[in-house]
Structure 1
Amino acid sequence: MSHRPSAPSPTPRRAAPAVLLSGVSLGVALALSSSAFAVEPAGEAASAQRQVMAFDIAAQPLDRAALVFAEQAGVQVFFDSARLQGFRSSALQGRYSLDDALRRLLDKTPVDYHLDGANQVTLTRRVLADDQVLQMQSVTVEGRSLSERQETYLQPRSVAVIDREQIDRNPPRHAADLLEQTSGVYTAVSQQDPGLSVNIRGVQDYGRVNMNIDGMRQNYQQSGHQQRNGTMYIDPELLSNVTVEKGATSGMGGAGVIGGVAEFSTLNARDFIHEGKEFGGRVRATTGLGGYANGTDFIGSSAFALGNEIGDILLAASERHLGDYDPGTHGSIGELRTGSAGNPEIEDRIKTSPVAYSGSTMRSRLAKLGLNLAHEQRVQLSYLRTQVSYDDANIMDVADEDLWEKLGSSNVVSQNFAVDYSYAPDNPLIDFKAKLYHVDTRNDQSTLTRGTTLGYSTTYQTDTYGLQVQNTSTFALSQVSILQADYGLEFFHDKVSPESDQAISSSSAVDYPFAEGMTPEGSRAMGSLFTRLDYEYDGWLNLNAGLRYDRYHLRGETGMNTRSFCTLEGACSNAQINVPVLYEVDREEGRFSPTFGLAIKPGVDWLQLFASYGKGWRPPAVTEALVSGRPHGGGTETLYPSPFLEPERSTTWEVGFNIARENLFLAEDRLGIKAAYFDTRIKDFMFLGYGLQRPGYSPIATLGTTAYVNNLETTRFRGVEYSLDYDAGGFYGNLSYTHMIGANDYCKRAAWLGGVESPVYGTGGRRPPIIGMEPDEFSNQSVNCGGIMGTAEHMPMDRGSLTLGARLLERKLDIGVRARYSEGYSLTHEDEEAQDMTYPADWKPYTVYDLFGSYQATDAITLRLAVDNVTDKAYLVPLGDVLAFTLGRGRTVQGTLEYTF
């Protein structure tokens, strides 16, 4: 077998297994029993050996590793795949000569290599004890590497990758558009707010999902009249891919996580340069076309990279200028929340009116400096700055002439600083990585005067300091079994620092304004020790087990006013008075969380069955425990603190299967299928409840009394996910679908802090005097169900997407269509469920069609055209921000010019 690469790989990123042709099995065993031996080359081959090249090849079956090696080294590799079955390569990361790279790749396998000229390598099995050589036949084979997205169909867990190819087909206006084609992933998006909040299988907010950029947690949170309690800011122009890990994990990034990890990976210098090319980059510009620009004024970016064996530099910048957009006009957007049941003209007015205050400006700058040190070490410094300006809008009001009301404006600046260090010597016990980072997100927000509430300015700032340390050790237990250990620690510290010029209300129990109290000052630190063991046997069995220990420390001050009665004789007798209650919170707690997994191949290499079980744990965030303010800066609605919240505890089961087939219908085609059933149960789930009773005298529970409480019922998120990826070269298709099952009940103690009291009356007179207070046991023990605010009020609805495309004209022309579907979830005025909800669901079913096309005019110039919502369908974004009433964009046409060098 040989592999002839079309060109050296320009991007030595983490290697994916290559697709093998007919007769090549995917099943492998591992043998790391002896050292590789090389025949000394001479002449042209010796010169080739001395060239230093960059490699990034994961440990994997040796036949696949040989094909990836051929791609990255730009050489032909000859071998017989049948003779390499049962052997596994060592990991190869760093810059090496051809000779050193082959030695490391074949380390401890009974396989020799021989350089035949400058660009050919032959692999052979070593001479056996009886002096008989297993001679290899040289069979010429064209191999193609799997993309990172396609590689997910070989991994025995629920993971998804959104690669640059998917991002480029239909350039996203909002970062949430990136995730629409990924099963199990939703976004509680408002098109009037560029912030992104990721929902995985119904779980989101307050760090339940670890949203990070290059591993740096984006823990910024700002309370307000919206349903996203945790947002991040990222321009898709600067991304290389997005990886979504679903469920609890015992690996890096899993501290305090019960929903999953969404990692947004930015561009690297090696995306544009490679051996023999020390300078490269890309310039791209997108704009709306014709009468269907629909607010897409300009989206553009540039990236420049320079590097050699010493190190590399990347500089990149992006701009995003968007205006107000028009919603779709065909179809119904619902009656319950538009108020159009009795007046159809209201819906027509909404659909023919621009979505005001949906424009924004985003500017991002990215810089990375990497240095390759001696002894297989590397240090990288990185900096990412994103600045976003946009207007804050109120809920759509059909009674208002302008539909939308401007509340104020926001200017967000998010800065990410990181230092990365790696050490990967020629030792299977050491693959060490460390990261030190700081994320500073700041929103300078101005609020306009509304009614009797004067305008004011507030700064909300969250600083996150993080440390990550991890090592991977690989142990060869026998020729057919291997044990891999991943272990390390993770630490991050969130510091929340609000500041406002709003006057302190005389009714406030604390010495800060209501605006500050909505996202209160405080800090939370979390440390985590973790380890995970993976055992592989004979290519068909994988067992894994992990254990994590998390510990958190929450600090801050908060308080509220309670009510009582004046019991003094005289003018104040029987009068109600405010009694301030202050809490100095200093809580610390820890917990162990195990995970287990099993994967088998039941007699065929293309089918893999997997199952997993995992525990998760999430303690309360700063805002959940310490909030004390009013969402509008005034009025009667008040959020109260909950300093005694119990941490959430999750248990997740998952069963599924992978199918990975090659040459199924046509030569060199590839099929990947992943399906999984998941069931996540959360005890003490925290939600924002209303209708509560404060401590002290509180005769009634009101809508305006809200606080974060623990659900007394088990909160459950379960469903089935499907993903399919087929690629035959000349044409391809992708399918994803998510089916959620069931609904949740939310029950809480009305007196969430206890301490409700009733007056004790004396004797005498027409109005007996109040002589004291006594516990109100009925109120203190009362349990109420319902009364929840936030996205958890609604279970995510079924959603899917289908993409079909073709590559024509020697694959220079790529055209296709995408369909996005939502089953919807609608209620009527008569539904009891609607009557119990604060914001009843009314998402109509819809199918939206998009077109895309690209043409590679030259090696350097690519032209792209995208038409979103071809039929101008009217719809509401599924699970979109309920309060912002997120209308889907109408027909939008965008054109892109890209120049690479």
Structure 2
Amino acid sequence: MRVSSRTGVHAASRLALAIHLGAAGLLLDAGLAHAAPSAAVAGAEQPSRLMFDIPAQALDSAVLAFAEQAGLQVLFDSQRLKGLHSSPLKGSYSVQEGLARLLGNAPVEYRFTGDSQVTLNRVAAEHQGALALATTTVSGNLEGRKSDWVYSTPRSVSVVSREQIDRNPPRHAADMLEETSGVYSAVSQQDPGLSVNIRGIQDYGRVNMSVDGMRQNYQQSGHQQRNGTLYVDPELLSEVVIEKGATSSMGGAGVIGGIANFRTLEARDLIKPGEEMGGRIRLTSGLGGRSNGTHFIGSSAFAIGTEVWDMLVAASERHLGDYDPGTRGSIGELRTGGWRDPSINDRVKNSPVAYSGSVMRSRLAKLGLNLPQDQRLQFSYLTTQVSYDDANMLNTEKDQLWEKLGSSDVRSQNFALDYSYTPDNPLVDFKAKLYYVDNRNDQSTLRRGITPGYSITYQTDTYGAQAQNTSTFALGELSTLKVNYGLEFFYDKVRPDSSQPLASGSAVNAPASEGMTPKGDRALGSLFARLDYDYDGWLNLNAGLRYDRYRLRGDTGINTRTFILGTTRQTTVPVDYDVDTEEGRFSPTFGLSIKPGVEWLQLFTSYGKGWRPPAITETLITGRPHGGGAESMYPNPFLRPERSTTWEAGVNVFKENLWFDDDRLGIKVAYFDTRVEDFIFMNMGMQPPGYGMAGIGNSAYVNNLQDTRFKGVEYQLDYDAGRAYGQLAYTHMIGSNDFCSKTAWLGGVTQTVKNSTAGRAPVVGMRPDEQANSASHCSAILGSAEHMPMDRGTLTLGARFFERKLDIGARARYSAGYSEGGSNTRTTTSVYPADWKSYTVYDLYGSYRATEELTLRLAMENVTDRAYLVPMGDVLAFTLGRGRTLQGTLEYQF
């Protein structure tokens, strides 16, 4: 049987991955442990050295990965390999050396039974005589197999594969995540930055957004819709891995929402088995009158690899212009004022979305060295530059719907040094990383009215270090214990720099624009350990413990008002805060999974604690957000860290040969419930210390007096029968939240003492205002948590023809929508009322592999030209989704 590779361009003669179900019995000699390969090896024609990267895992899945990377057929009995675990395999080896290292001390022998075929037999070590085994075959296409691990992992994880990204080329990075359950993005189509929301949780590091494990902690204050932004080009990605909830593993420090790791290309993604060089060129453009602002998206990547070293270089560019939104169907009325005048909505739908164009350029380089004694060293560099215009919120009362505020020139640079040591020892699988991330936005702001224009640089530097090891212990023939332990550390250094003049009477020595994203330093270190016990493949118990500790430093302050005693005159008194906060906490996790009598069904549950300390901006923000006016932002040096408790219960289904030979079905359903104590949010109507400073325009970050809940149900389904396939993802969120805080969050509110009741009597003293200091209020908030995410789902159906050379399909994207307000006056208590109408958008796609090297793709987005707003989108930007758009792609691999 011949099966194409995951890219669909490898020659079948080079990669014939098929794990066959046979009826033949194989006789094993008693007492054998790991046998050397038979003499048949001498006749097998295999490439001399191949690159492998297979972490320690269950032996049957490790063998599948080995077969894919080696381009072999492997025959084995999957039932008899249950309970066995592989040793890690990473580096350049011959097929025989690699397989021997992968098997390690497992009681398995192997022999080559053909030029590209290997048979594995488990040895019966405790019995004299022969044991007959049936040979089990597991087969299927490689695109599906690469993410099959999701449906055997007893926790909530998702993968966005390269295949999914290629079907409908994303214009905005957030487009990649629409087919992932439990994942949203507060996206503005006029800002290329990506902000990941997992199960309703986002901002300020609650979700670890990382590129190849490097944290992207850049944050720039706006209108509280996105407080944490990632700039990444989908062209240079191999996949996106999403882990949901708190974890006791790498990347979970200071996280309560989950981890979104965007993995870039590796040399092995481009080099075919048996080759030393490989590459790819991809060109995408809008077609005809339906290009809709897609001018050019292109990338090229080249890799070379030997048994000693490998190198990858890649570059990409995307040039996008303003686009037209969909014109059919209803959109929200609250933000447009369409409830007053229905013609306004027609105007919005039939107007181009101004300032939605951008230019992005990315460069990627990786150099890997395979050192002696199973060591590997890799240096990587990734830079992304984005230029775009900053737009003001939609204003339907003006001739031009959007107003240009200025422009941004973003540069994100990532440097990393990775080291791994994976000897033929189940106790050692060591990985370490040092990295530096430099995110910088050189922004210019235009003059508005009497407020002069100015320039400002927002810069966040992140320094990180990681180290972890995995040890696997064989406790018996059927039970194993895996221990993963390590540490991670990162340090954020925020340094804004503005040409804006310092406002008179400012409480801090910084312009207002710098005070909104203030200067400061925060370091967070974490030690973690996780134990996984597996018995015979049907029972898994795990427990983990993490200790996080942070330190935050910076200066901030506020101006308070009081009276000059003996007079009726008020004066301003600055109050400075020299913040130096340090705290730590332990966070445990537990998990249990069982297979109740059938191999294809797994039940799992987990419970975990999380902890997120306050961010720099949340603690130190101060000043006036627009450089003047009545609004004021105040700091909170006494913020308490957030503490989360998450539990989930779910089911995994993974069944092969269900209805047809070689078909496969994967299902993951999970109910989750996250409770956050002391959730940090920005509240309005606050009263700072001093006299008479109450006002709706006063805002500060505070801890919620109520528990904040994020709960719901996620559904994932993946079915592939070769000629036809389908994928489903759906998220149902449950409940809503109240946000309450002390009005005088810092206390210190005062009232006057007079010797007379006369209105102009002199003030002889000040005393605490007990009523004001003890008051609390629950009101609308500023931030993404103001609204729970809407229900959302996607359904993809496709078919393959002509030996899978032609792949065509359709995708439906659905949102339940949500809208606030009354019938006529549209009364609402929200600062930014939710206004998302329900919609279903249909997309078509197709690809044809003309030759082994050349693939042509065609994709039409929003076939019915539906007008819609992406749920959890930026309510201020109110930018409609793209209308009907046709894109063509040419991809050449060599």
* Structure 1 counterpart of 2:586: 592
Measure the CA separation in 2 of the matches of 1:8 and 1:843.
38
CA spacing shift, 1:402–1:75, aligned 2, 3 Å: closer
CA spacing shift, 1:476–1:656, aligned 2, 3 Å: same
Measure the CA separation in 1 of the matches of 2:41 and 2:836.
71
- What amino acid is the match of 1:184? G
Confirm or deny that 1:829 pairs with 2:822: yes
- Mapping 1:458-537, distance limit 5 Å: 458-537=456-535
1:804 and 1:816 in contact (8 A); partners too: yes
Measure the CA separation in 1 of the matches of 2:425 and 2:825.
65
* Structure 1 counterpart of 2:28: none
1:82-139 C-alpha deviation (Å, 9 max, x unpaired)? 5545544333222222332232223222222233464343333447566412255668
1:54 and 1:274 in contact (8 A); partners too: no
TM-fit CA distance, 1:632: 1.9
2:633 and 2:699 in contact (8 A); partners too: yes
* Structure 2 counterpart of 1:666: 660
- What amino acid is the match of 2:569? A
- What amino acid is the match of 2:370? N
* Structure 2 counterpart of 1:605: 599
The structure 2 residue matched to 1:881, chosen from 874, 877, 883, is 874
- Mapping 1:721-732, distance limit 5 Å: 721-732=714-725
Pick which of 478-487 and 100-109 moved more. 100-109
* Structure 2 counterpart of 1:29: none
TM-fit CA distance, 1:578: 0.8
Measure the CA separation in 2 of the matches of 1:579 and 1:361.
47
1:406-428 C-alpha deviation (Å, 9 max, x unpaired)? 11111000100000000000111
* Structure 2 counterpart of 1:229: 227
- Mapping 1:291-690, distance limit 5 Å: 291-568=289-566, 573-690=567-684
TM-fit CA distance, 1:826: 1.1
Confirm or deny that 1:760 pairs with 2:758: no
* Structure 2 counterpart of 1:98: 95
- Mapping 1:107-186, distance limit 5 Å: 107-116=104-113, 118-126=115-123, 131-135=128-132, 144-145=141-142, 146-186=144-184
1:624 and 1:641 in contact (8 A); partners too: yes
CA spacing shift, 1:832–1:434, aligned 2, 3 Å: farther
CA spacing shift, 1:512–1:57, aligned 2, 3 Å: closer
List runs of 5+ in structure 1 lacking aligned partners.
13-17, 26-32
Matched residue of 2:676: which SS?
strand
CA spacing shift, 1:142–1:455, aligned 2, 3 Å: closer
Matched residue of 2:253: which SS?
coil
Q: TM-score if structure 1 supplies the norm length?
A: 0.94
TM-fit CA distance, 1:835: 2.1
CA spacing shift, 1:396–1:226, aligned 2, 3 Å: farther
2:568 and 2:760 in contact (8 A); partners too: no
Pick which of 79-88 and 287-296 moved more. 79-88
Measure the CA separation in 2 of the matches of 1:47 and 1:851.
43
Pick which of 58-67 and 845-854 moved more. 58-67
CA spacing shift, 1:318–1:140, aligned 2, 3 Å: closer
TM-fit CA distance, 1:23: 7.2
Confirm or deny that 1:713 pairs with 2:706: yes
Measure the CA separation in 1 of the matches of 2:148 and 2:206.
27
Matched residue of 2:131: which SS?
coil
Measure the CA separation in 1 of the matches of 2:557 and 2:571.
16
CA spacing shift, 1:746–1:9, aligned 2, 3 Å: closer
- What amino acid is the match of 2:436? H
Q: For the aligned residues, what is the CA RMSD? A: 2.3
* Structure 2 counterpart of 1:775: 768
Measure the CA separation in 2 of the matches of 1:293 and 1:621.
41
Measure the CA separation in 2 of the matches of 1:503 and 1:601.
66
Q: TM-score if structure 2 supplies the norm length?
A: 0.95
1:24 and 1:81 in contact (8 A); partners too: no
Measure the CA separation in 2 of the matches of 1:252 and 1:660.
27
Measure the CA separation in 1 of the matches of 2:77 and 2:758.
105
1:441 and 1:461 in contact (8 A); partners too: yes
1:125-154 C-alpha deviation (Å, 9 max, x unpaired)? 447566412255668875655533332011
Measure the CA separation in 2 of the matches of 1:141 and 1:841.
49
TM-fit CA distance, 1:641: 0.7
2:78 and 2:136 in contact (8 A); partners too: no
CA spacing shift, 1:38–1:580, aligned 2, 3 Å: same
CA spacing shift, 1:24–1:76, aligned 2, 3 Å: closer
Matched residue of 1:270: which SS?
helix
Matched residue of 2:256: which SS?
coil
TM-fit CA distance, 1:20: 8.9
Confirm or deny that 1:811 pairs with 2:804: yes
1:5 and 1:74 in contact (8 A); partners too: no
* Structure 2 counterpart of 1:15: none
- Mapping 1:696-711, distance limit 5 Å: 696-698=690-692, 701-711=694-704
The structure 2 residue matched to 1:866, chosen from 845, 859, 867, is 859
1:761-804 C-alpha deviation (Å, 9 max, x unpaired)? 12386622101100000000001001311111100010000000
CA spacing shift, 1:114–1:810, aligned 2, 3 Å: closer
Measure the CA separation in 2 of the matches of 1:137 and 1:830.
69
2:224 and 2:782 in contact (8 A); partners too: no
* Structure 1 counterpart of 2:27: none
The structure 2 residue matched to 1:269, chosen from 262, 267, 270, is 267
- What amino acid is the match of 1:680? T
2:810 and 2:844 in contact (8 A); partners too: yes
Measure the CA separation in 1 of the matches of 2:481 and 2:82.
19
Measure the CA separation in 2 of the matches of 1:751 and 1:628.
16
2:19 and 2:136 in contact (8 A); partners too: no
Measure the CA separation in 2 of the matches of 1:329 and 1:595.
49
1:19 and 1:64 in contact (8 A); partners too: no
Measure the CA separation in 2 of the matches of 1:84 and 1:262.
32
1:467 and 1:490 in contact (8 A); partners too: yes
Measure the CA separation in 2 of the matches of 1:852 and 1:316.
26
2:601 and 2:651 in contact (8 A); partners too: yes
CA spacing shift, 1:182–1:366, aligned 2, 3 Å: same
Matched residue of 1:556: which SS?
strand
List runs of 5+ in structure 2 lacking aligned partners.
11-15, 24-30
CA spacing shift, 1:183–1:64, aligned 2, 3 Å: closer
CA spacing shift, 1:870–1:525, aligned 2, 3 Å: same
- What amino acid is the match of 1:503? P
1:420-473 C-alpha deviation (Å, 9 max, x unpaired)? 000000111100000000000000111111122111110110000000000000
Confirm or deny that 1:795 pairs with 2:788: yes
- What amino acid is the match of 2:848? Y
CA spacing shift, 1:187–1:607, aligned 2, 3 Å: same
Measure the CA separation in 2 of the matches of 1:217 and 1:516.
23
CA spacing shift, 1:697–1:151, aligned 2, 3 Å: same
Matched residue of 2:475: which SS?
strand
Measure the CA separation in 2 of the matches of 1:381 and 1:543.
36
2:508 and 2:558 in contact (8 A); partners too: yes
2:521 and 2:553 in contact (8 A); partners too: yes
Measure the CA separation in 1 of the matches of 2:719 and 2:44.
42
TM-fit CA distance, 1:704: 1.3
